[in-house]
Structure 1
Amino acid sequence: MLYVNLFLGGCCCFRFDPVPNSVCVDGKRLRQSAMPVDPVSKVLDDDNLLIEILLLIGYPTTLICASLVCKRWFCHASDPAFLCRFRKLHPPCLLGVYFKTRANRSRFVPMLPQPPENNAVISRASSSLDAHKLILDECNGIIFTKTFNNCDEEPRSIHIVLNPLCPARGMVIVPPFPCYGRQDGYFYKFCQLLFEEEGDGLSYLCVRGELSNDGRKSTVYVYMLQDGVWCFHTSATTQLPCRPQILNPLLVDNKIYMTATQSEILVLDLTASSFSTFQVPQGLVIGYKRTMLSRAYDNSGVYLIHLNGLQLCIWLRTGDNWLLVDTIYLREMYAKLRMPDHTNWVWINQVGVNAEFVFLRMGRCLVYVGIKCRKLCKVYEMTSEDRWLGRVHPCMMIWPPTFHALKDGPAGFVFWPLGDVIVFCFCVVALEAYMKHL
C-alpha cells in the first residue's frame, strides 16, 4: 500500500480541471458533475506517450525492470527501433577497467562515481576475476581471460567468460592458438585473438603476423574457430616500403586494419584475401603508443586517435575520406588534477569504441579522458608493489540489454517476484522523470 499511496500521491499534482470552461459567478467557478479524468490511465494507456517516458529511464537495468510490468511494456522496451533511440540518448556507460600490474595477475577498478542502479553489475564484473586469471580482452561484457596453474585444463587455454553481467550464458573454453613454423627469412610479429558479434553469438579469429628480416614484406595468416577447432581461413602477403610501426589490429566488417608504415594503414580483406593500403591524414605520423584505431559503433567507419604532446586529435574515415572529428588540448585539464608533472611521459594505453574515451598513461598514473564530456580524471596510481601497468580493457554496460523471458499470465501481465513493487516504483519514477522534461 505504501507504493500505491506514493504512486497516487505523485499523480495528484498532475490532475487537470475536468470542467475547464464552466461559468463563473461572483468570481467563483460553478461545480458541475463530470467523470474525473484518471491521469495515470491518460498517460500510461497512450503508447506514444509511454514510449517517450521509457526513453527517459536512463539505465538499461531499470529498462529491464520496466519490461516486467506487462507484455505491452515488454514489447515497447525490447523493440529494436526503440532500443536504437534509447542508445542514442543513453550510450552504454563505462563500469570500470581491467588491467594487469604484476605477472599473471589482473585487477578491476570501477569508474566512480556510479549511480546505485549499476551497483549489482559492477559487483559481478569485479567477481569474475580470481588469482589465476589474466584479462586478455573485453567486448560488450564478454571477458577473455587466460588461466594459469590449473592442472585440470590446458595450461595455455583461453577462457571466454560469456557475460559475467549475465552469468546464465555460462563459459566457453577456446583451445590454444594453432601451432605453426615460421618461414625462412621471417620473424614473428604478433599473434592476436579477434572476434566480432554475429547475432546472439561470436565468431573468433586468430590472426598471426610475420615480418621479413629486412622489414619489407609482411605475411598475415588467419585462422577461424569452427566446432572447437582452429581451421586455416586465409593468408596474404604484401610488400612494404619500410619497416612498419606497431598499431593495434582492428577487425571491422570482415576487414582487419593494421599498420603499414608511418603514414599508411594496411587493410586485409578477409573475403577477397587481399591487401590494400590508404594514407593517414596529411601531416600525421603514426607513432608507437601515440596512435590507435577504434571502430565506429555501427561499423560505418574507423576512428584514428593520435596523441601529439598533450593534444589529442580524433579522425574518422568513412569511404575514402578523413574527417577531423575533435581536437582536445589536455594541458589545462591535466593541471586541474594537481598531479606530479609527467606531461613529458604520456602515451595512449587504450581507446573506446566509437572513440568515446581514451585512457592515457601519465607517469605512474592511469588517466581517463572523456571525449564528449571533456572529462579528465585519475583512475589508478601505481603503488610500490606494482611492477608495471599493462593494457587497459574497459568494461562497458552490455548492449542491448538481456530481457527476461515472458511468463504466462492473464491480461498480458508478467508474474514475477515483487512484481507489484516494480510496477508502482517504476510508475512513480517514470512519471517524475517525464514531468521534469516537460
Structure 2
Amino acid sequence: MLGPPDGSILTKVAMEGEKQPQPAVADSSATVSKVLDDDNLLVEILLRVSFPNTLIRAALVCRRWLCHVSDKAFLGRFRKLHPPRLLGFYIDTGMGPCFTPMLPQPPELAVVIDRACFCPDTWQCRRAHVLDCRNGRVLTMLQDGPRFELGVHTALCTLTERGMTTFPPFPRYNRPEGRFCIWPCLISKEQGDDLSYFYVLIESSEETSKVTVRVYMLQHGIWCTHHTLATDQPSLPLWDPKLVLVDSKIYITVAPRNIMVLDLSVSSCSTICLPQGVEYGDRDAMLSRADDASSVYLIQVKELQLHIWLHKGNNWLLVDTIFMSEMVANLRMQDYTVEDEHIDVLRILQVGDNAEFVFFQMGRCILYLDIKGKTLRKVYEMKDKDWYSVYYIFPFKMVWPPIFPALKPNLQGIPFASAEVTKISNVHRVC
C-alpha cells in the first residue's frame, strides 16, 4: 500500500525543482510585450475583463489602450458580452426607500455597490419617494409638508460630486368637469449618453369611454407639452396603469384585455389585444421593454407558472414558460398566514428590460427570478415595522457607457502622468 512521501523524497523533489532552469526575466517580458503590442490580441483580452469600471482602469495605462476601450465598435461588442449588471434595487415598504444590494457581488464592484447604497432620506425632508431609476440616475421626489421637490441623483458619483439636480415641478393640470380618474406617471428613455424624462397624465372619464393621454417632456429645464391624444377605449382598471416606453412608443395597460399604444413619432393611437386567455389581474402581469423598437414583452404569472410573451408585428409569440412550483419549494419558505389563510400567491412587483428578470412578492418575502438562468432566490424579507405590501421596487444596474478621461491632444502611446490628464474626475462615476 502506498503511503505519503517521506521527508527525504520531498527534499529530493524540491532540490530537483531548484535545478530546473528558470526562464529569463527578459524573455518573459518580451513575451508579454509581444502579446500586448498586438492590437488584435489586446482587444480580445480587454473584451474579457467583465466590468466597465475595469475598462476605465485599463484606459489609464496609455493613450493606445484608451483608444481601444473607447472605440464604439469595441464598446458594442463589450456590452453584448457583458450586459449591464444588476447591482441592487431600491425598495419602499412603507418606511421610506432604501437600497438593497444583490449579493454576492465580485470584489471589483465593492466601491460601486458602496456608492449606490445612498438613502434618499438623507436629505433634510420628511418623506422621500423614488420615481424612476435608469442608468445610474435616481429620480427622487422629496416631500416636506405641503412642499415637494423633484430632482435626479447620480448615485455612482463620489461624495464630493453627489447632490441632486433639481427639476421643475410637474405641470399644473386643470381637472375637467365631470367624473374623471387621473393617473400621473413618469417614465424615462435613454438617448445616447443621457436620459429624457416624460411626464404622462392619463385621464379616463367615468361617464364615457373617452381616454385622454397628455405627454410632457422635460426640455431645457421646462416641462413642455409633447403630445395630447384622445381615443375611445374601455374604462381603465381600478389599479394604477403601468407604462413602458420603447423607442417612440408608449405602451399602456388600459384594460384587463387591452394595451393602448401611443406612437409619439406619428401622433397615433392604437390598441393591442392580449393573447388568448390572458388578462391583467392584481399584479399578475407586467410589460417589459424589448431591444426591438417594434416589440414588447408581456410577463404573466398564474398558479406558479410564468409565461413570457413577445409581441412583434401583429402577433403574440409565447417564448418561454417556467414552472416555479419546485423552485418555490426549494426555498424552504414557511407560509406566512393572515387570518389563518396561507398566502402562496406570487405577485409581480417589477420586471427587467428584455424580460431578463422578475421581482415577486410572496407573503413577506421578495423573490428574484433570473429568467435566463432559471434560478429563484429570496433577496428581501419585510420586517415587523414594514407594511405588508411593497410600494415599489426599482432595479439599479451598472451605468453604461463608462466615462473615460480626457487627454491632452499631443499624447500618444505613452504612460499617463498626473499632468497629462486634463480631467479624471469623471472616472469616479463607475471606478
Q: TM-score, normalized by length of structure 2?
A: 0.82
Structure 1: distance between partners of 2:154 and 2:34: 42
Residues 278-332 of structure 1: CA distance to partner in whole angstroms, max 9, x if unpaired?
2222222222311111112464521111111211111222222322222111111
Structure 1 contact 215–243 (Cα < 8 Å) conserved: no
CA shift at 1:14, angstroms? 13
Separation in structure 2 between the aligned mates of residue 15 and residue 297 of structure 1, nearest angstrom = 51
Matched, 1:217 2:210: yes
Rounded to whole Å, the distance in 2 between the matches of 1:416 and 1:301 is 48
* 1:262 partnered with 2:253: no
Determine the structure 1 residue equivalent to 2:397.
Answer: 396
Tell me: CA distance 1:303–1:169, structure 2 relative to 1, closer, same or farther (3 Å). Answer: farther
In structure 1, what residue type is equivalent to 2:310?
L
Shift in alpha-carbon separation, 1:88–1:173, aligned structure 2, 3 A:
same
CA offsets per residue over residues 177-217 of structure 1, 9 Å max, x none? 11112222342331011221222332221100011114622
Of the three residues 310, 315, 325, the one matched with 2:319 is 325
Structure 1's 232 and 114: CA in aligned 2 closer, same or farther, altered over 3 A? same
- Is 1:207 aligned to residue 207 of structure 2? no
Q: Contact 2:300 / 2:308 at 8 angstroms: preserved in 1?
A: yes
Contact 2:89/2:395 (8 A) holds in 1: yes
Q: Secondary structure at the match of 2:148?
A: coil
Question: Mean alpha-carbon deviation: is it higher for 249-258 or for 206-215?
Answer: 206-215
The aligned runs of 1:134-153 (5 Å cut-off) are 134-149=129-144
Instruction: Map 1:354-393 to 2 at 5 A.
Output: 354-387=354-387, 388-393=389-394
Give how far 1:242 is off.
Answer: 4.9
- For residues 313 and 416 of structure 1, the distance between their equivalents in structure 2, rounded to whole angstroms, comes to 55
Aligned partner (choices 270, 273, 286) of residue 276 of structure 1: 270
Name the residue aligned to 1:63.
55
Q: How far does the alpha carbon of each residue in 1:11-45 deviate from its partner, in whole angstroms, 9 at most, with x for none?
A: xx9989xxxxxxxxxxxxxxxxxx99921122111
Partner SS, residue 157 of structure 1: strand
Contiguous gaps of at least 5 residues in structure 2: 1-20, 336-341, 421-431
Unaligned runs of 5+ in 1: 1-12, 17-34, 420-438
Determine the C-alpha separation between the residues in 2 that align with 1:249 and 1:337.
32
The count of aligned residue pairs is 384
Could you tell me which residue of structure 2 aligns to residue 122 of structure 1? 113
SS at match of 1:392: strand
- Structure 1 199/239 Cα, relative in aligned 2: closer, same or farther at 3 Å? same
- For 1:100, the equivalent position in structure 2 comes to 92
Distance 1:320 1:66 in 2: 46
- Cα offsets for 1:217-241 (capped at 9, x unmatched): 2111112223322222221111124
Question: Which residue type is aligned with residue 304 of structure 1?
Answer: L
Match of 1:316 among 289, 296, 310: 310
Q: Secondary structure of 1:412's match?
A: coil
* Counterpart-to-counterpart distance in 1, 2:90 and 2:101: 9
Q: Which residue identity is paired with 1:116?
A: P
1:398 shift after superposition: 0.6
Supply the AA of the counterpart residue of 2:167: V
User: 2: CA distance between counterparts of 1:299 and 1:398?
Assistant: 21
Matches of 1:72 and 1:400 in 2, distance apart? 19
* Code of the aligned partner of 1:174: F
Query: Are residue 228 (structure 1) and residue 221 (structure 2) matched?
Result: yes
Q: CA deviation at 1:162?
A: 3.1
Asked if the contact 1:186–1:210 (Cα under 8 Å) also holds between the matched residues in 2, the reply is: no
Q: What is the Cα deviation at residue 122 of structure 1?
A: 0.8
Structure 1 pair 47–107 and aligned structure 2 pair: CA distance change class (3 A): same
Structure with a larger share of its residues in strand: 2
Q: Following the alignment from structure 1 to structure 2, what is the Cα–Cα distance between the partners of residues 408 and 289?
A: 55
Instruction: Kindly state the Cα deviation for residue 344 of structure 1 after the two structures are TM-superposed.
Output: 2.8
CA shift in 2, pair 1:309/1:414, >3 Å: farther
Q: Is the 8 A contact 1:182 1:188 kept in 2?
A: no
The reply on whether 1:181 has 2:174 as its aligned counterpart is yes
Match in the other structure for 2:414: 413
Tell me by how many angstroms 1:145 deviates: 0.7
CA distance in 2, matches of 1:385, 1:306: 30
TM superposition shift of 1:128: 5.1
Q: Distance in 2 between matches of 1:311 and 1:164?
A: 37
- For the 8 Å contact 2:183–2:241, the answer to whether it is kept is no
User: Is residue 204–residue 235 contact of structure 2 (8 Å, CA) maintained in 1?
Assistant: no
Counterpart contact for 2:140–2:151, Cα < 8 Å: yes
Residue in structure 1 matched with residue 282 of structure 2 by the alignment: 288
Give SS of 2:120's match.
Answer: coil
Preserved CA contact (<8 Å) 1:189 1:209? yes
Q: Which moved more, 1:42-51 or 1:121-130?
A: 121-130
Q: Which residue of 1 aligns with 2:426?
A: none
TM-score between both structures, scaled by the size of structure 1: 0.81
Matched, 1:40 2:32: yes
Q: 1:313 to 1:71 in 2, by over 3 A?
A: same
Aligned-pair identity in percent equals 49
> Does the 8 A contact of 2:56 with 2:404 survive in 1?
yes
With over 3 angstroms needed to count, the CA separation of the structure-2 counterparts of 1:335 and 1:36, relative to structure 1, is closer
